[in-house]
Structure 1
Protein backbone atom coordinates (compact mmCIF):
# COMPACT_ATOMS: atom_id res chain seq x y z
CA UNK A 1 0.00 0.00 0.00
CA UNK A 2 1.37 3.43 -0.95
CA UNK A 3 2.06 6.11 1.68
CA UNK A 4 -0.86 8.15 0.34
CA UNK A 5 -3.27 5.24 0.69
CA UNK A 6 -1.98 4.50 4.20
CA UNK A 7 -2.47 8.13 5.18
CA UNK A 8 -6.01 8.28 3.77
CA UNK A 9 -6.93 5.00 5.42
CA UNK A 10 -5.73 6.28 8.79
CA UNK A 11 -7.76 9.47 8.42
CA UNK A 12 -10.80 7.34 7.55
CA UNK A 13 -10.24 5.06 10.54
CA UNK A 14 -9.73 8.05 12.84
CA UNK A 15 -13.06 9.50 11.71
CA UNK A 16 -14.81 6.17 12.27
CA UNK A 17 -13.17 5.81 15.70
CA UNK A 18 -14.27 9.31 16.76
CA UNK A 19 -17.81 8.49 15.69
CA UNK A 20 -17.81 5.06 17.36
CA UNK A 21 -16.47 6.50 20.62
CA UNK A 22 -19.01 9.32 20.44
CA UNK A 23 -16.26 11.92 20.87
CA UNK A 24 -17.30 15.56 20.62
CA UNK A 25 -15.66 18.98 20.45
CA UNK A 26 -13.29 19.41 23.38
CA UNK A 27 -12.85 15.68 23.98
CA UNK A 28 -9.36 14.21 24.11
CA UNK A 29 -8.38 11.60 21.52
CA UNK A 30 -6.00 8.68 22.24
CA UNK A 31 -2.23 9.19 22.10
CA UNK A 32 -0.11 8.38 19.04
CA UNK A 33 0.96 5.12 20.67
CA UNK A 34 -2.61 4.11 21.48
CA UNK A 35 -3.80 5.01 17.99
CA UNK A 36 -0.91 3.11 16.43
CA UNK A 37 -1.84 -0.01 18.38
CA UNK A 38 -5.58 0.38 17.89
CA UNK A 39 -5.36 1.03 14.15
CA UNK A 40 -2.46 -1.39 13.67
CA UNK A 41 -0.28 1.11 11.78
CA UNK A 42 3.08 2.77 12.37
CA UNK A 43 3.35 5.75 14.68
CA UNK A 44 4.94 7.88 11.93
CA UNK A 45 1.86 7.33 9.74
CA UNK A 46 -0.43 8.21 12.64
CA UNK A 47 1.62 11.35 13.30
CA UNK A 48 1.29 12.41 9.63
CA UNK A 49 -2.48 11.94 9.66
CA UNK A 50 -2.85 13.87 12.90
CA UNK A 51 -0.70 16.69 11.57
CA UNK A 52 -2.94 16.98 8.50
CA UNK A 53 -6.07 17.05 10.64
CA UNK A 54 -4.52 19.72 12.84
CA UNK A 55 -3.63 21.88 9.83
CA UNK A 56 -7.27 21.65 8.75
CA UNK A 57 -8.33 22.90 12.17
CA UNK A 58 -10.15 19.70 13.14
CA UNK A 59 -7.94 18.82 16.12
CA UNK A 60 -5.48 20.71 18.31
CA UNK A 61 -2.47 19.64 20.35
CA UNK A 62 -1.99 21.18 23.77
CA UNK A 63 1.51 20.91 25.15
CA UNK A 64 1.62 18.57 28.11
CA UNK A 65 -2.07 17.69 27.80
CA UNK A 66 -2.61 15.79 24.57
CA UNK A 67 -4.66 16.13 21.39
CA UNK A 68 -8.26 17.33 21.41
CA UNK A 69 -11.13 17.62 18.92
CA UNK A 70 -11.66 21.25 18.03
CA UNK A 71 -14.97 23.05 17.92
CA UNK A 72 -15.06 23.75 14.18
CA UNK A 73 -18.62 25.04 13.98
CA UNK A 74 -17.03 28.38 13.10
CA UNK A 75 -16.19 26.80 9.74
CA UNK A 76 -12.44 27.43 9.84
CA UNK A 77 -12.05 24.82 7.12
CA UNK A 78 -14.47 26.60 4.82
CA UNK A 79 -12.69 29.90 5.41
CA UNK A 80 -9.33 28.25 4.75
CA UNK A 81 -10.42 26.73 1.46
CA UNK A 82 -12.21 29.92 0.46
CA UNK A 83 -8.99 31.86 0.98
CA UNK A 84 -6.59 29.55 -0.83
CA UNK A 85 -8.68 27.76 -3.45
CA UNK A 86 -11.67 29.83 -4.52
CA UNK A 87 -9.81 32.87 -5.80
CA UNK A 88 -10.52 32.85 -9.53
CA UNK A 89 -13.83 34.08 -10.91
CA UNK A 90 -14.74 30.72 -12.45
CA UNK A 91 -14.54 29.01 -9.05
CA UNK A 92 -16.68 31.72 -7.48
CA UNK A 93 -19.35 31.31 -10.16
CA UNK A 94 -19.25 27.53 -9.61
CA UNK A 95 -20.12 28.09 -5.95
CA UNK A 96 -23.14 30.21 -6.87
CA UNK A 97 -24.33 27.77 -9.54
CA UNK A 98 -23.94 24.73 -7.28
CA UNK A 99 -25.73 26.42 -4.39
CA UNK A 100 -28.62 27.33 -6.72
CA UNK A 101 -28.88 23.77 -8.04
CA UNK A 102 -28.89 22.32 -4.53
CA UNK A 103 -31.62 24.77 -3.50
CA UNK A 104 -33.75 23.70 -6.46
CA UNK A 105 -33.36 20.06 -5.49
CA UNK A 106 -34.34 21.01 -1.95
CA UNK A 107 -37.51 22.66 -3.28
CA UNK A 108 -38.32 19.52 -5.27
CA UNK A 109 -38.09 17.46 -2.08
CA UNK A 110 -40.23 19.96 -0.18
CA UNK A 111 -42.88 19.60 -2.88
CA UNK A 112 -42.90 15.84 -2.29
CA UNK A 113 -42.65 15.75 1.51
CA UNK A 114 -43.92 18.92 3.20
CA UNK A 115 -47.56 19.44 4.09
CA UNK A 116 -49.54 22.69 3.89
CA UNK A 117 -49.52 23.17 7.68
CA UNK A 118 -45.71 23.22 7.79
CA UNK A 119 -45.50 25.61 4.86
CA UNK A 120 -48.12 27.97 6.31
CA UNK A 121 -46.10 28.13 9.52
CA UNK A 122 -43.09 29.14 7.45
CA UNK A 123 -45.25 31.70 5.66
CA UNK A 124 -46.17 33.33 8.97
CA UNK A 125 -42.48 33.67 9.85
CA UNK A 126 -41.80 35.35 6.52
CA UNK A 127 -44.76 37.70 6.91
CA UNK A 128 -43.47 38.81 10.30
CA UNK A 129 -39.95 39.40 8.87
CA UNK A 130 -38.40 36.91 11.27
CA UNK A 131 -36.17 35.12 8.74
CA UNK A 132 -33.06 35.99 6.77
CA UNK A 133 -32.51 34.35 3.37
CA UNK A 134 -30.25 31.73 4.96
CA UNK A 135 -32.78 31.02 7.67
CA UNK A 136 -35.59 30.74 5.14
CA UNK A 137 -33.79 28.07 3.12
CA UNK A 138 -32.62 26.25 6.22
CA UNK A 139 -36.27 26.01 7.30
CA UNK A 140 -37.06 24.48 3.91
CA UNK A 141 -34.20 21.99 4.27
CA UNK A 142 -35.61 20.93 7.63
CA UNK A 143 -38.86 20.05 5.82
CA UNK A 144 -36.98 17.70 3.44
CA UNK A 145 -35.79 15.55 6.35
CA UNK A 146 -32.56 14.98 4.40
CA UNK A 147 -29.44 15.37 6.55
CA UNK A 148 -27.01 15.17 3.62
CA UNK A 149 -28.70 18.03 1.78
CA UNK A 150 -28.48 20.04 4.98
CA UNK A 151 -24.72 19.47 5.32
CA UNK A 152 -24.00 20.19 1.64
CA UNK A 153 -26.08 23.37 1.62
CA UNK A 154 -24.54 24.68 4.84
CA UNK A 155 -21.03 24.21 3.42
CA UNK A 156 -21.95 25.92 0.14
CA UNK A 157 -23.63 28.74 2.06
CA UNK A 158 -20.46 29.30 4.08
CA UNK A 159 -18.30 29.20 0.94
CA UNK A 160 -20.61 31.80 -0.57
CA UNK A 161 -20.31 34.10 2.45
CA UNK A 162 -16.53 33.67 2.60
CA UNK A 163 -16.19 35.01 -0.95
CA UNK A 164 -17.60 38.41 0.00
CA UNK A 165 -20.13 38.75 -2.80
CA UNK A 166 -22.15 41.94 -2.94
CA UNK A 167 -25.01 41.62 -0.47
CA UNK A 168 -28.36 41.08 -2.15
CA UNK A 169 -31.58 42.32 -0.58
CA UNK A 170 -34.46 39.94 -1.27
CA UNK A 171 -38.10 41.04 -1.23
CA UNK A 172 -40.54 39.41 1.17
CA UNK A 173 -43.09 38.99 -1.61
CA UNK A 174 -40.66 36.74 -3.49
CA UNK A 175 -40.53 34.31 -0.56
CA UNK A 176 -44.31 34.40 -0.19
CA UNK A 177 -44.75 33.63 -3.88
CA UNK A 178 -42.41 30.66 -3.51
CA UNK A 179 -44.29 29.35 -0.49
CA UNK A 180 -47.61 29.72 -2.31
CA UNK A 181 -46.30 27.60 -5.18
CA UNK A 182 -45.09 24.95 -2.73
CA UNK A 183 -48.45 24.85 -0.96
CA UNK A 184 -50.14 24.35 -4.34
CA UNK A 185 -47.69 21.52 -5.13
CA UNK A 186 -47.03 23.23 -8.46
CA UNK A 187 -43.52 22.25 -9.60
CA UNK A 188 -43.39 24.64 -12.57
CA UNK A 189 -44.66 27.57 -10.52
CA UNK A 190 -42.17 26.74 -7.74
CA UNK A 191 -39.25 26.78 -10.17
CA UNK A 192 -40.46 30.04 -11.68
CA UNK A 193 -40.77 31.65 -8.23
CA UNK A 194 -37.27 30.46 -7.29
CA UNK A 195 -35.80 31.82 -10.52
CA UNK A 196 -37.43 35.16 -9.83
CA UNK A 197 -36.14 35.19 -6.25
CA UNK A 198 -32.58 34.49 -7.31
CA UNK A 199 -32.86 36.56 -10.48
CA UNK A 200 -31.92 33.62 -12.69
CA UNK A 201 -32.50 33.81 -16.41
CA UNK A 202 -30.79 30.60 -17.55
CA UNK A 203 -30.66 27.27 -15.78
CA UNK A 204 -29.25 23.90 -16.75
CA UNK A 205 -31.10 21.53 -19.06
CA UNK A 206 -31.97 19.44 -16.02
CA UNK A 207 -34.47 22.10 -15.05
Structure 2
Protein backbone atom coordinates (compact mmCIF):
# COMPACT_ATOMS: atom_id res chain seq x y z
CA UNK A 1 0.00 0.00 0.00
CA UNK A 2 1.46 3.37 -0.99
CA UNK A 3 2.01 6.21 1.48
CA UNK A 4 0.21 9.46 0.74
CA UNK A 5 2.40 12.54 -0.10
CA UNK A 6 1.60 14.37 3.15
CA UNK A 7 2.45 11.22 5.12
CA UNK A 8 5.75 10.90 3.23
CA UNK A 9 6.70 14.42 4.32
CA UNK A 10 5.72 13.66 7.90
CA UNK A 11 7.77 10.45 8.02
CA UNK A 12 10.74 12.08 6.28
CA UNK A 13 10.84 14.86 8.88
CA UNK A 14 10.80 12.28 11.68
CA UNK A 15 13.71 10.46 10.03
CA UNK A 16 15.68 13.68 9.56
CA UNK A 17 15.20 14.71 13.19
CA UNK A 18 16.50 11.27 14.17
CA UNK A 19 19.51 11.86 11.87
CA UNK A 20 20.20 15.23 13.51
CA UNK A 21 20.22 13.55 16.93
CA UNK A 22 22.83 11.09 15.62
CA UNK A 23 24.90 13.74 13.79
CA UNK A 24 24.95 16.08 16.79
CA UNK A 25 25.73 13.14 19.08
CA UNK A 26 22.84 14.04 21.34
CA UNK A 27 21.96 11.71 24.18
CA UNK A 28 19.35 11.45 26.93
CA UNK A 29 19.09 14.76 28.77
CA UNK A 30 20.52 16.83 25.89
CA UNK A 31 18.56 19.68 24.38
CA UNK A 32 17.25 19.50 20.82
CA UNK A 33 17.65 22.44 18.44
CA UNK A 34 14.72 24.85 18.60
CA UNK A 35 11.69 24.47 16.35
CA UNK A 36 12.96 27.36 14.20
CA UNK A 37 16.46 25.86 13.93
CA UNK A 38 15.05 22.49 12.94
CA UNK A 39 12.81 24.13 10.36
CA UNK A 40 15.83 25.86 8.80
CA UNK A 41 18.06 22.78 8.88
CA UNK A 42 15.37 20.53 7.44
CA UNK A 43 14.05 23.12 4.98
CA UNK A 44 10.56 22.30 6.21
CA UNK A 45 7.59 24.31 7.42
CA UNK A 46 7.44 24.96 11.15
CA UNK A 47 3.97 23.41 11.39
CA UNK A 48 5.32 20.14 9.95
CA UNK A 49 8.29 20.19 12.33
CA UNK A 50 5.96 20.91 15.24
CA UNK A 51 3.77 17.93 14.28
CA UNK A 52 6.80 15.63 14.08
CA UNK A 53 8.03 16.81 17.49
CA UNK A 54 4.58 16.24 18.94
CA UNK A 55 4.66 12.65 17.65
CA UNK A 56 8.06 12.06 19.25
CA UNK A 57 6.78 13.51 22.51
CA UNK A 58 3.71 11.26 22.45
CA UNK A 59 6.04 8.30 21.97
CA UNK A 60 7.90 9.37 25.09
CA UNK A 61 11.18 9.96 23.24
CA UNK A 62 11.42 13.69 23.96
CA UNK A 63 9.93 16.09 26.50
CA UNK A 64 9.20 19.81 26.42
CA UNK A 65 10.08 21.88 29.47
CA UNK A 66 8.36 25.26 29.67
CA UNK A 67 10.84 28.09 29.26
CA UNK A 68 13.75 25.70 28.64
CA UNK A 69 13.15 23.86 25.40
CA UNK A 70 12.84 20.28 24.17
CA UNK A 71 15.03 17.51 25.58
CA UNK A 72 15.73 13.85 24.74
CA UNK A 73 14.22 11.56 27.34
CA UNK A 74 15.88 8.60 29.00
CA UNK A 75 14.22 5.63 27.26
CA UNK A 76 15.60 2.64 29.19
CA UNK A 77 12.30 2.19 31.00
CA UNK A 78 10.24 2.36 27.82
CA UNK A 79 11.36 -0.58 25.70
CA UNK A 80 7.91 -1.07 24.14
CA UNK A 81 7.79 2.60 23.14
CA UNK A 82 11.25 2.28 21.56
CA UNK A 83 10.14 -0.74 19.54
CA UNK A 84 6.97 0.97 18.32
CA UNK A 85 8.88 4.14 17.48
CA UNK A 86 11.32 2.11 15.37
CA UNK A 87 8.38 0.83 13.32
CA UNK A 88 7.19 4.36 12.55
CA UNK A 89 10.68 5.47 11.54
CA UNK A 90 11.62 2.31 9.65
CA UNK A 91 10.99 0.50 6.39
CA UNK A 92 8.13 -1.34 4.70
CA UNK A 93 9.04 -4.67 6.33
CA UNK A 94 8.68 -3.10 9.77
CA UNK A 95 5.29 -1.67 8.85
CA UNK A 96 4.17 -5.09 7.70
CA UNK A 97 5.32 -6.53 11.03
CA UNK A 98 3.35 -3.89 12.89
CA UNK A 99 0.17 -4.82 11.01
CA UNK A 100 0.84 -8.52 11.57
CA UNK A 101 1.28 -7.91 15.31
CA UNK A 102 -1.96 -5.92 15.39
CA UNK A 103 -3.77 -8.82 13.71
CA UNK A 104 -2.41 -11.24 16.31
CA UNK A 105 -3.60 -8.99 19.14
CA UNK A 106 -7.06 -8.69 17.55
CA UNK A 107 -7.27 -12.48 17.16
CA UNK A 108 -6.36 -13.04 20.83
CA UNK A 109 -8.81 -10.38 21.97
CA UNK A 110 -11.67 -11.85 19.97
CA UNK A 111 -10.98 -15.37 21.26
CA UNK A 112 -11.29 -13.99 24.80
CA UNK A 113 -14.35 -11.96 23.81
CA UNK A 114 -16.23 -15.10 22.74
CA UNK A 115 -15.89 -16.34 26.32
CA UNK A 116 -16.38 -13.06 28.18
CA UNK A 117 -18.73 -10.90 26.13
CA UNK A 118 -21.81 -9.81 28.09
CA UNK A 119 -25.40 -9.15 27.06
CA UNK A 120 -24.69 -5.44 27.55
CA UNK A 121 -21.74 -5.66 25.13
CA UNK A 122 -23.95 -7.44 22.57
CA UNK A 123 -26.60 -4.74 22.99
CA UNK A 124 -24.04 -1.97 22.28
CA UNK A 125 -22.87 -3.77 19.15
CA UNK A 126 -26.44 -4.25 17.93
CA UNK A 127 -27.08 -0.52 18.31
CA UNK A 128 -23.99 0.26 16.26
CA UNK A 129 -25.24 -2.07 13.51
CA UNK A 130 -28.60 -0.27 13.56
CA UNK A 131 -26.83 3.10 13.19
CA UNK A 132 -24.85 1.76 10.22
CA UNK A 133 -28.11 0.93 8.48
CA UNK A 134 -29.44 4.43 9.14
CA UNK A 135 -26.41 6.62 8.42
CA UNK A 136 -24.31 5.92 5.32
CA UNK A 137 -22.15 9.00 5.93
CA UNK A 138 -20.93 7.69 9.30
CA UNK A 139 -20.23 4.12 8.15
CA UNK A 140 -16.45 4.27 8.57
CA UNK A 141 -16.58 5.79 12.06
CA UNK A 142 -19.28 3.34 13.12
CA UNK A 143 -17.26 0.37 11.83
CA UNK A 144 -14.21 1.59 13.74
CA UNK A 145 -16.35 2.02 16.86
CA UNK A 146 -17.75 -1.50 16.39
CA UNK A 147 -14.27 -3.00 16.07
CA UNK A 148 -13.06 -1.13 19.14
CA UNK A 149 -16.05 -2.25 21.21
CA UNK A 150 -15.50 -5.87 20.20
CA UNK A 151 -11.86 -5.70 21.28
CA UNK A 152 -12.76 -3.99 24.55
CA UNK A 153 -15.23 -6.78 25.36
CA UNK A 154 -12.31 -9.20 25.74
CA UNK A 155 -11.98 -8.02 29.34
CA UNK A 156 -8.16 -7.75 29.19
CA UNK A 157 -7.12 -4.12 29.60
CA UNK A 158 -3.49 -4.68 28.56
CA UNK A 159 -4.43 -6.39 25.30
CA UNK A 160 -6.95 -3.64 24.64
CA UNK A 161 -4.30 -0.94 25.19
CA UNK A 162 -1.92 -2.77 22.84
CA UNK A 163 -4.68 -2.82 20.21
CA UNK A 164 -5.32 0.93 20.67
CA UNK A 165 -1.62 1.85 20.38
CA UNK A 166 -0.93 -0.41 17.41
CA UNK A 167 -4.01 0.88 15.62
CA UNK A 168 -3.02 4.48 16.31
CA UNK A 169 0.52 4.02 15.00
CA UNK A 170 -0.72 2.18 11.93
CA UNK A 171 -3.26 4.90 11.14
CA UNK A 172 -0.63 7.64 11.47
CA UNK A 173 1.45 5.88 8.82
CA UNK A 174 -1.16 5.25 6.17
CA UNK A 175 -4.36 6.97 7.22
CA UNK A 176 -6.03 3.63 7.59
CA UNK A 177 -9.79 3.58 7.77
CA UNK A 178 -11.53 0.67 9.42
CA UNK A 179 -10.93 -2.60 7.57
CA UNK A 180 -14.26 -3.89 8.88
CA UNK A 181 -17.23 -3.39 6.57
CA UNK A 182 -20.84 -3.32 7.85
CA UNK A 183 -21.32 -6.84 6.47
CA UNK A 184 -18.21 -8.07 8.24
CA UNK A 185 -19.39 -6.44 11.49
CA UNK A 186 -22.72 -8.28 11.21
CA UNK A 187 -20.93 -11.60 10.76
CA UNK A 188 -18.72 -10.91 13.77
CA UNK A 189 -21.74 -10.00 15.91
CA UNK A 190 -23.58 -13.18 14.92
CA UNK A 191 -20.60 -15.39 15.76
CA UNK A 192 -19.90 -13.55 19.01
CA UNK A 193 -23.51 -13.94 20.10
CA UNK A 194 -23.23 -17.66 19.33
CA UNK A 195 -19.83 -17.81 21.08
CA UNK A 196 -18.35 -19.55 18.04
CA UNK A 197 -14.62 -18.95 18.50
CA UNK A 198 -13.44 -21.24 15.68
CA UNK A 199 -15.61 -19.64 12.99
CA UNK A 200 -14.57 -16.18 14.22
CA UNK A 201 -10.92 -17.14 13.89
CA UNK A 202 -11.53 -18.46 10.39
CA UNK A 203 -13.39 -15.27 9.46
CA UNK A 204 -10.53 -13.07 10.68
CA UNK A 205 -7.95 -15.17 8.83
CA UNK A 206 -9.87 -14.79 5.54
CA UNK A 207 -10.16 -11.05 6.16
CA UNK A 208 -6.41 -10.71 6.77
CA UNK A 209 -5.56 -12.82 3.70
CA UNK A 210 -7.80 -10.62 1.55
CA UNK A 211 -6.18 -7.43 2.87
CA UNK A 212 -2.65 -8.80 2.36
CA UNK A 213 -3.54 -9.68 -1.23
CA UNK A 214 -4.65 -6.07 -1.86
CA UNK A 215 -1.46 -4.61 -0.36
Shorter-chain TM band: 0.5 to 0.7
Distance 1:49 1:133 in 2: 41
Match of 2:94 in 1: 91
Which structure 2 segments of 5+ residues have no match? 1-26, 32-52, 72-81, 133-137
Task: From the superposition, tell whether residues 166 and 138 of structure 1 become closer, same or farther in structure 2 (CA, over 3 Å).
Answer: closer
Deviation digits for residues 13-38 of structure 1 (CA, Å, limit 9, x no counterpart): xxxxxxxxxxxxxxxxxxxxxxxxxx
Matches within 5 A, 1:139-158: 139-158=149-168
- The structure whose Rg is larger is 1
Distance 1:182 1:63 in 2: 53
TM-score, reference length from structure 2: 0.54
Which structure 1 segments of 5+ residues have no match? 1-47, 68-76, 203-207
SS of alignment partner, residue 128 of structure 1: helix
* Equivalent residues of 2:143, 2:180 under 8 A apart: yes
SS of alignment partner, residue 60 of structure 1: strand
Match of 2:209 among 162, 179, 200: 200
Give the helix-richer structure, 1 or 2. 2
Question: Which structure would you say has the larger RCO, counting Cα contacts within 8 Å and 6 or more residues apart?
Answer: 2
Distance 1:154 1:63 in 2: 33
Q: How many residues align?
A: 146
Matches within 5 A, 1:112-123: 112-123=115-126
* Equivalent residues of 2:87, 2:98 under 8 A apart: no
